[in-house]
Amino acid sequence: MDNLDLRRASDRGHCDFVVAGAWHQLHRIADRCRASRYTCELRAVRFRFRANARSGLSISRTTKGWNRRSRIHSHDRATRKLYRAATFSYDGLQYKGRIVQPITPNDQFYCVTKNVVDPRVNVQLWHLEIDGLVENPRVYRFDDLKMRNSVEQQTTLMCISNGLDAGLISNAVWKGVTLRDLLESVVPLSQAARVRFWGVDNYTDTIPLEKAMEPTTLVAYEMNGVPLPHRHGYPARIIVPGYFGEKHVKWLTRIEVSRENAKGFYETQGWGPDFITPIRSRIDAPDHESWFSLGKLSGPIEVKGIAYGGDRGISRAELSFDNGKSWRDAEIYYSGGDLAWSLWKTEWLPSAAGDYILVVRATDGEGDVQEWEADRSPFSGVTGFHKILVHVTA
């Protein structure tokens, strides 16, 4: 039995999981760990389903020496690698280079998940609970959400683990209802200070109540003009401009208003404590370690890339061709607004043969300039300038 396809629906819940090809995925993780005893054979893996009033059916996987939903029971190095692979993984897709355009196509949008198998939700059974420190707890069905006033906005998402030269960042147009609208319908109590989100997959994270009440924080149900793809949180997810991607909870099923902060899934594993995105910029073309010949150049070399300021926008992008000794402005040819990235470009004609270090920096809409050196833990998102090396021959 090397392929498993289980479909269940709970009378009390609203989730329809489809676990297809799970063995294949777990085999790949085990192979990566080079641990033959974790080959995830049928006798070594158990799937347990639990009906739950909030999240329908939740799925857990238990292997010998490993339980993703509780703790690592072994100090074996291979077990730890297997655990990390299952709790912080992405599909290998990075959105960077010459293909970058203002709006990222859905099938190219970066995707990070804690799940070996992501949930697939039956929207007819789905509902969204809003409770906690509120006067009027409510339950919304999907049609209820779509009947409320909707908004559309561009918002860029970036993973907290995104490196200076990496592509775990993408931009989309999101449509949904403001979280403030939903919270005002339940009337938070005076002692309320935090808002906690729960996903169908038992993923949780929190944000301050004041951030939740900003008009740009959304419960989104469309992405680039179509319903949310399953991998991006269908039927509804949170969009929190200016915060790293882990705060944008997918497969949303519950919103809890509370007094105290509760660490989110990745925060409990060491990420954070700062989740506000710093200013970031990247050179997408030319490639690092590119070679050019002065004798063969027919014109200037196009240099282009992205700049992102969280929810503060971008006012300026600058390029250096001498490792930061001097700077010149690049043209911002696309501005996505305060919540999204900007795309920049410039032209460069080397004056002589040699090796050149190109550096980019950006200034956000509030006038703050990107930091030159890393000044905080990489677990709160790396800072610094992106550099590339370009070789020019005669």
The confidence score (pLDDT) of residue 86 equals 41
The residue extents of the domains of the chain are: 7-87, 113-269, 280-393
Residue in the block written with tokens 């509780």: 70
Q: Is 380 left (phi over 0), alpha (psi -120 to 50) or beta?
A: alpha
pLDDT tens digits, one per residue of 206-225: 999 999 999 999 999 999 99
| Residues 188 and 273: beta-carbon distance below 8 Å | no
**191: exposed, middle or buried (Cβ count in 10 Å: 0-12, 13-18, 19+):** exposed
Write out pLDDT tens, residues 277-296.
999 999 999 999 999 999 99
Q: Which residues contact 323 (CB under 8 A, 6 or more apart)?
A: 357, 359, 387
User: In this model, does residue 387 exceed pLDDT 70?
Assistant: yes
Contact 29, 86 (CB under 8 A): yes
Phi-psi region of 120 (alpha: psi -120 to 50; beta: other; left: phi over 0): beta
Region of 91 (left: φ > 0; alpha: ψ -120 to 50; beta: rest) is alpha
375 vs 35: which has the higher pLDDT: 375
Phi-psi region of 34 (alpha: psi -120 to 50; beta: other; left: phi over 0): left
352, amino acid identity:
A
More confident residue, 307 or 25: 307
**Phi, psi values for residue 41, rounded to 5°:** -70, 165
Q: For residue 48, what are its two tokens?
A: 């347990």
Strand 66-67 with 89-90, pairing:
unpaired
Please give the torsion angle defined by the CA atoms of residues 22, 26, 31 and 32, in that order, rounded to the nearest 10 degrees: 120
CB burial of 139-160 (b: ≥16 within 10 Å; e: otherwise) equals ebebeebeeeebeebbbbbbbb
Mean per-residue pLDDT, 185-201 = 97
Instruction: Give the separation between CA 151 and CA 332, rounded to whole angstroms.
Output: 26
pLDDT at 24 over 60: no
CB atoms within 10 A of CB 289: 9
**Cα–Cα distance, 240 to 244 (Å, whole number):** 8
Residue 266 is predicted with a pLDDT of 79
**Farthest CA pair distance, the chain:** 74
In the chain, % of residues over pLDDT 70: 75
Q: How confident is the model at residue 240 (pLDDT cuts 50, 70, 90)?
A: very high
Banded model confidence at residue 36, pLDDT cuts 50, 70, 90: very low
Give the residue-averaged pLDDT of 315-343.
Answer: 98
pLDDT on residue 272:
79
Confidence of residue 187 (pLDDT cuts 50, 70, 90): very high
The pLDDT assigned to 371 comes to: 85
Stretch among 37-46, 126-135, 205-214 having the lowest mean pLDDT: 37-46
Helical (H) or strand (E) element with 119: none
CATH topology of domain 113-269: Sulfite Oxidase; Chain A, domain 2 (3.90.420)
> CA–CA separation, 255 vs 249, rounded Å?
10
Decide: 122 and 232 in contact? Cβ < 8 Å.
Answer: no
Of 180-194, 219-233, 260-274, the range with the lowest mean pLDDT is: 260-274
With contact defined as beta carbons under 8 Å apart, do 130 and 140 qualify?
yes
Among 35-44, 53-62, 190-199, 365-374, whose mean pLDDT is lowest? 35-44
pLDDT category of residue 196 using cuts at 50, 70 and 90: very high
As to burial, measured by CB atoms within 10 angstroms (0-12 exposed, 13-18 middle, 19+ buried), residue 165 is middle
Q: Is the backbone of residue 253 left (phi > 0), alpha (psi -120 to 50) or beta?
A: alpha
Whether the predicted pLDDT of 306 surpasses 50: yes
This prediction has a pTM of 0.78
Using CA atoms, how far residue 291 sits from 110, 286, 317, 319, 356, in Å, is 29, 9, 24, 19, 10
The pLDDT confidence band at residue 12, using thresholds 50, 70 and 90, is very low
Position 58: which residue type? S
Express each pLDDT in 92-116 by its tens digit: 678 999 999 999 999 999 999 888 8
CATH number of 280-393: 2.60.40.650
